[in-house]
Structure 1
Amino acid sequence: MRPIRIALTKGRLEKDTVAVFEKLGYDCNELINKGRKLILQIPDRNIEVVLAKAADVITYVEHGVCDLGVVGKDTIMEHGGSFFEVADLGFGRCKFALAVKKGSDFYSGYNIKTIATKYPNVAREYFAEKGMDIEIIKIEGSVELAPLVGLSDGIVDIVETGTTLKENGLEVAEDVAYISARLIVNTASLKLRKEELEPLIDAIQQGSAR
């Protein structure tokens, strides 16, 4: 039987997940000394690890080429998908926030507000729940620039410490949603490989508990 395949989001979530595996006593030598490899083995547990960008983790799990994935709740909220979200792993904590120029009142006036963001679906849903019509401008780079140059009334972005906002004359007006790493599983895999996956899911949950 092929190894259980788990997709990890490259970067910090990858490192935090590998730390969980180490805590569980798994052989992580290949994960730690990976070089440029993108598919890695945990030989003592019949697990294969695939390293990918966040949105691609969802794609691989959704299409069943990976059984499990570790991805931020921000990516899940923005991209959605057909899979089971089975655990909040607790690491990678941050939040989505609405930020504006310091001292400005986002909700004053009657004009349609403009939001710049890398996460248009998250922003659209948030303001739809408030019953507000907004104009969304998709930004790929430093979203903090948009209010400073007059492109938008505010931004919806991921905030960790808030330092970048303060340094650019912005402040958090409202928290939108709290984010952390989540463990997701392919729907078919959970049925077909239930006896293998459930103990692994339980172990990852326990290993991630702080």
Structure 2
Amino acid sequence: MKERLTVAMPKGRIFDEAVELLRKADYQLPPEFEDTRKLIIELEHEPLRFILSKPMDVPTYVEHGVADIGIAGKDVMMEEERDVYELLDLQISACHLAVAGLPNTEMSKVAPKIASKYPNIASQYFREQGEQVEIIKLNGSIELAPMIGLADRIVDIVSTGQTLRENGLVEYATIKKVTSRLIANPVSYRLHEREITDMVARLRNVLNVHA
């Protein structure tokens, strides 16, 4: 009998696309799976247990071993730098990290301010550009920052760019293209290698990618 794997999944767009991918890989997920309000879901017909959380928390759960594997955006992986194995690019929820701001504006010459919910990524990017900036961490509505004079630029995830356009902002630079990844706890990977490598193989087959 297969060991039950605990999977940390982010709510939202990644969750919906990951569920579709798992179904294509012949995992028997119930029809009401996407509509549940439960935070922990145990499947009857699959040796899987799901923990649903905020995207930023998935690598934390996997690193600390409360989840054996998880699905996390590359943006979260870069920001959090957790001790986990990155097993597979799932090629879902494609977007990119970008620098944006009001059109036709220069950054302040003295202590320019950058607002982001990705302070580590933002800090590293501007350091690599040779620019000294002040990072302001925000948790939501990042687009507000340049509009109200809180920051010269923002660093945020961009998908279609519609939110930026609707708020009168433009992109100034692309930092990194982002997709979601399958990750594993190093100890869990050793203990449940057969089950985890089976999942990777099934997902690879769906994605039509080779090892």
Q: TM-score, normalised by structure 1?
A: 0.90
Deviation of the 1:205 alpha carbon: 3.0
Q: Distance in 1 between matches of 2:201 and 2:165?
A: 40
Deviation of the 1:207 alpha carbon: 2.6
**Does residue 101 in structure 1 map to residue 102 in structure 2?**
yes
Q: Which runs of 5+ in 2 are unaligned?
A: none
Deviation of the 1:37 alpha carbon: 2.0
Name 1:187's counterpart in structure 2. 186
User: How many residues were matched structurally?
Assistant: 208
Q: 1:88 to 1:125 in 2, by over 3 A?
A: same
* Mapped contact 2:75–2:178 kept (Cα < 8 A): yes
In structure 2, give the amino acid aligned to 1:100. Answer: G
Q: Which runs of 4+ in 1 moved over 4 A?
A: none
Q: 1:150 to 1:37 in 2, by over 3 A?
A: closer
Name 2:122's counterpart in structure 1. 123
Q: 1:122 to 1:34 in 2, by over 3 A?
A: same
Name 1:85's counterpart in structure 2. 86
* Mapped contact 1:114–1:152 kept (Cα < 8 A): yes
The SS at the match of 1:45 is coil
Name 2:39's counterpart in structure 1. 38
Spell out the pairing of 1:123-202 with structure 2 (5 A cutoff).
123-202=122-201
* Mapped contact 1:120–1:136 kept (Cα < 8 A): yes
> Relative to structure 2, which stretch is displaced further, 40-49 or 58-67?
40-49
Q: Distance in 1 between matches of 2:82 and 2:19?
A: 25
Deviation of the 1:31 alpha carbon: 5.8
Q: TM-score, normalised by structure 2?
A: 0.90
Q: Distance in 2 between matches of 1:78 and 1:32?
A: 29
Deviation of the 1:189 alpha carbon: 1.2
* Mapped contact 1:34–1:40 kept (Cα < 8 A): no
Q: 1:31 to 1:73 in 2, by over 3 A?
A: farther
Q: 1:62 to 1:209 in 2, by over 3 A?
A: same
Q: Distance in 2 between matches of 1:158 and 1:17?
A: 19
Cα root mean square deviation, aligned? 2.0
Deviation of the 1:85 alpha carbon: 0.8
* Mapped contact 1:100–1:171 kept (Cα < 8 A): yes
The SS at the match of 2:28 is coil
Q: Distance in 2 between matches of 1:116 and 1:159?
A: 15
Q: 1:79 to 1:3 in 2, by over 3 A?
A: same
Q: Distance in 2 between matches of 1:51 and 1:206?
A: 25
Q: Which runs of 5+ in 1 are unaligned?
A: none
